[in-house]
Amino acid sequence: MTRMHLIDDLGEEVPLRGTPERVVSLVPCLTEAVQASVNGTDSAAGAASVIVGATDYCTHPVDLDVTRVGGSKYPRVNDVLALQPDLVLANSEENRKEDVERMRADGIPVWVMAAPATVPDALGSLRRLLTQAFGLEEPAWLVDAEHAWSETLPERKRAVVPVWRKPWVVIGRDTFGGDVLHRLGVANVYADNADRYPRPKRDEIAARFDAGEADLLVLPDEPWEFTEDDGPDAFPGVPYALVSGRYLTWYGPSLVDAHRELAATLSEPRVSP
């Protein structure tokens, strides 16, 4: 079988021997993207011949029936190796370098996707993965997503976007979620922070609202599951929007619906008591 000389987003060689037939995905959005693109649908039907393992957090397609190998940060590498994959999909932000190196040392090709800072970055990286590693034609959902996110709306809100609560962690500079909001006309108050995920104290976040620097609290349901009773309570009187974490931070087929769904949710914020 002819060896394919492919290079991942980090410049590392991915020594595939033909089109992958046994794939383990350690990134939920990549699981969904490969499934939808290989099958031409968001159904998992027939996908067992391609995706054979995924993390516990790979929730889409909803009927995905494959071996689970733990979380993204701490996958059970022995379980991954036992599946004998001919390709593992990873991400530079979600997956640990030592796990990637161990799999490569065991002869497993690993494609590492760089953590994208913008929607175009993400879609460009996905296009390379799908067309080069899997030999697919450009999927229709990718073209639709590029069209949906091609324009940037005028700024109408300035938001703080927590992704964790104990301690508080917010979206900072150069993040995919931040660019999603930017394109919807919602500026990220922490976009100029030195860190990609700053850890401000609650009082500091509250002071941003008190000073008029922020006028919207955006609360996704992952990785921390913010709800009506968990999140808004920390900032009384502040307008907030509960959003789907998948629509805000996943890059893949979800982007087609994300523009419409997020725009609708962000346009009707609630106010915490």
Residue 127 near residue 135, CB atoms below 8 Å: no
pLDDT at site 2: 56
Q: What angle do CA 216, 217, 218 make, to 5 degrees?
A: 110
Which run of H or E residues covers position 35? helix 28-39
Which regions of the chain carry the CATH code 3.40.50.1980? Answer: 4-128, 151-271
- Tens of pLDDT along the chain (273 residues)? 456 779 999 999 999 989 999 999 999 999 999 988 986 543 344 434 699 999 999 999 998 999 999 998 999 999 999 999 999 999 999 999 999 999 999 999 999 999 999 999 999 999 999 999 999 999 999 999 999 999 999 999 999 999 999 999 999 999 999 999 999 999 999 999 999 999 999 999 999 999 999 999 999 999 999 999 999 999 999 999 999 999 999 999 999 999 999 999 999 999 987
Statement: 4-128 belongs to CATH 3.40.50.1980: yes
Instruction: Give CA torsion, residues 13, 17, 20, 26, to 10 deg.
Output: -30
Which of 57, 87, 86, 60 minimizes the C-alpha distance to 69? 57
Pick one of 1.10.3720.10, 3.40.50.1980, 3.30.930.10, 3.40.190.10 as the CATH number of 151-271.
3.40.50.1980
Contacts for 48 with CB less than 8 Å, ≥ 6 apart: 65, 66
Tokens of 1: 């079988």
Residue in the block written with tokens 């899997």? 134
Cα–Cα distance, 68 to 199 (Å, whole number): 31
pLDDT at site 49: 60
Check the CA dihedral 214-216-220-221 and report its sign: positive
pLDDT at site 42: 39
Q: Per DSSP, which regions of 185-264 are E strands?
A: 186-188, 216-220, 239-243
The values of phi and psi at residue 77, to 5°, are -60, -35
Residue in the block written with tokens 């021997």? 17
Environment class of 159 (CB within 10 Å of its CB; exposed 0-12, middle 13-18, buried 19+): buried
β-pair partners for 159: 188, 216
Q: Per DSSP, which regions of the chain are E strands?
A: 4-7, 13-16, 23-25, 51-54, 67-68, 87-91, 110-113, 157-160, 162-165, 168-170, 186-188, 216-220, 239-243, 270-271
pLDDT at site 157: 97
Residue 120 near residue 55, CB atoms below 8 Å: no
**How many other CB atoms are found less than 10 A from the CB of residue 34?**
27
The values of phi and psi at residue 164, to 5°, are -155, 155
Which of 184, 187, 185, 186 minimizes the C-alpha distance to 148? 184
Residue in the block written with tokens 């593992």? 88
Residue 152 near residue 119, CB atoms below 8 Å: no
